[in-house]
Amino acid sequence: MKEVLSFAEIKKRFDSEWVLLADPETDDGLKIKRGIVLWHSKNRDEVYRKAREIRPNHSAILYTGKLPDDVAVVL
């Protein structure tokens, strides 16, 4: 079984990277608390390609770096 990492551990190990998580656990505000890292990369498109390849049942993709001020996040 793969290691479950907290959000703080994920952010520390994969600073400024896109991360694909399996079985993410979230709080009531849907912020990620922990999960299993399936893939990570500085390249966002690579992570999305890997997600399509792996096709995990329950997953999340997050960015661990600071977003520029002129970026809008759409959910």
Render pLDDT for 7-65 as a digit per residue (tens, 0 to 9). 999 999 999 999 999 999 999 999 999 999 999 999 999 999 999 999 999 999 999 99
Backbone angles phi, psi at 46, to 5 degrees: -65, -40
Report whether pLDDT(1) > 60. no
Residue 5 has pLDDT above 90, yes or no: yes
Task: Give the pLDDT of residue 2.
Answer: 82
pLDDT given for residue 25 in this prediction? 97
Beta-carbon contacts of 25 under 8 Å, excluding residues fewer than 6 positions away, are 32, 33, 34, 35
By three-state DSSP, how is residue 13 classified?
helix
pTM of the model: 0.87
Distance separating alpha carbons of residues 5 and 68, to the nearest angstrom: 26
- Tell me what pLDDT residue 26 has: 96
